Amino acid sequence: MRRYGSSIGCACLLGLTAACTPVAPDTRQADIQAVKAVEIAWAKDAALKDPAKFASYYSAVDAVGLFPNSPPVTGRDDLQGAWTIMMADPNFALSFQGTQADASKGGGLVYTVGTYSLTMSDPKNKQPVTDKGKYMTVYKKQADGTWKAVADSINSDLPAPGVSH
């Protein structure tokens, strides 16, 4: 009988512990809305052609940019450097808009998917060339509650050089 009493006591303690453990609220919808607002502001700021302002949307240390025909660009400073080169182009123009978003249940990550249009100068004749494509960006909630991009990947709809469709 004593053995059963111990088992029942342990079961009750486990039940009480589980009942006292706070359940984190599901903030996914609020997180998605917050990131959508960040992304809209980021897209508007692209028109400013201010690399520092544009790069401020990236996480300082762990951000990575995955851009076509180049190795990964890591860290906000290096991303700012890459955007500085692109934004110095007189024909530079960038627009993007999210088409979908989802959030992790734990509330720490949100990803967005969308489309972009990027205009740059053709290196040969300096005429504007527009690339259209899609992107995926992963945002991470920072210690101060803000959302910063930690992974930013773009994928052109244009065929790769030397590939015919």
Q: What is the pLDDT of residues 64-120, one digit of tens each?
A: 999 988 999 999 999 999 999 999 999 999 999 999 999 998 889 999 999 999 999
Residue 49 CA from chain centroid, whole number:
20
Phi, psi of 24 (to 5 degrees): -65, 135
Predicted pLDDT at 43: 97
3-state secondary structure 4-66: HHHHHHHHHHHHHHHHHCCCCCCCHHHHHHHHHHHHHHHHHHHCCCCHHHHHCCECCCCCEEE
10 pLDDT more than 50: no
Per-residue pLDDT band at 135 (split at 50, 70, 90): very high
Predicted pLDDT at 87: 97
Q: What is the pLDDT of residues 26-77, one digit of tens each?
A: 899 999 999 999 999 999 999 999 999 999 999 998 999 999 889 999 999 9
Domain extents in the chain: 23-156
> Does CATH place domain 23-156 in 3.10.450.50?
yes
